[in-house]
A and B are shown apart, each in its own frame.
Chain A
Amino acid sequence: GAVVSQHPSWVICKSGTSVKIECRSLDFQATTMFWYRQFPKQSLMLMATSNEGSKATYEQGVEKDKFLINHASLTLSTLTVTSAHPEDSSFYICSASRRRGNQPQHFGDGTRLSIL
């Protein structure tokens, strides 16, 4: 159990395009979902935390107008990178947990975003 599906797995697009990434918990209800960004050989950097039905909490330095997060249901969260530029190219990973608090996070397989 605890499967998280992330789609698409990779995207290549032109600068200025907006890109939407979906994160779904397939076999459980996710009270909380997290969005991370990871650079090669570096740690996961938390971008934002979202709880179903409420606005996402963004980490310091993450532009909320640039990275739009929607957590409309207990099984789906989306991250939209608006007007993407080459510096936004990265590996984006979502995770979900069943409850708030000290819980394991279940990760999707990530989205490789390349902006030309």
Chain B
Amino acid sequence: SQKIEQNSEALNIQEGKTATLTCNYTNYSPAYLQWYRQDPGRGPVFLLLIRENEKEKRKERLKVTFDTTLKQSLFHITASQPADSATYLCALGNNNDMRFGAGTRLTVKP
């Protein structure tokens, strides 16, 4: 069965460092992968979408890589700030079928 794993339930880093979150998947060949941010008690907010034929995507301090051979995506936040503290979800999809990972809770300490 399809499985999506995000590297850890929680990640703590110091302000200014780069946060790296991992999303691994098995038994699935997604056409695209998306990353979302979710704050407590709120709905997820879309951050980035990367397609299967793209290796890397950037948006301001965010960078996403997509390796279909390793079946892995890495999500980087450079120069992290306490305001980046949230849960980050990866989601894999084909057309309208999209499945979410359980998320990684990132805490950036001042």
Contacts and interface: CB of A to CB of B under 8 A. Distances in A.
Interface of A: 4, 6, 32, 34, 41-44, 46, 49, 93, 95, 97, 100-102, 104-110, 112
Given A32-B96, A41-B9, A44-B89, A109 B42 contact: yes
Interface of B: 4, 9, 31-32, 34, 36, 41-46, 49, 51, 89, 93-96, 98-103
Given A107-B44, A109-B43, A44 B95 contact: no
A110 B43 contact: yes
Contacts of B51: 102
- The B interface is mostly helix, strand or loop, or mixed, namely strand
A104 B45 CA distance: 10
Nearest to B105: A41
Nearest to B47: A104
A95 B41 CA distance: 15
**Residue from A44, A93, A101, A112 having most chain B Cβ neighbours under 10 A:** A44
Contact of A43 (B32, B96, B101): B101
Contact of A105 (B4, B41, B98): B98
Contact of A102 (B32, B43, B99): B32
* Those 4 A-B pairs whose CB atoms lie nearest each other, nearest first: A107-B43, A104-B46, A43-B102, A44-B100
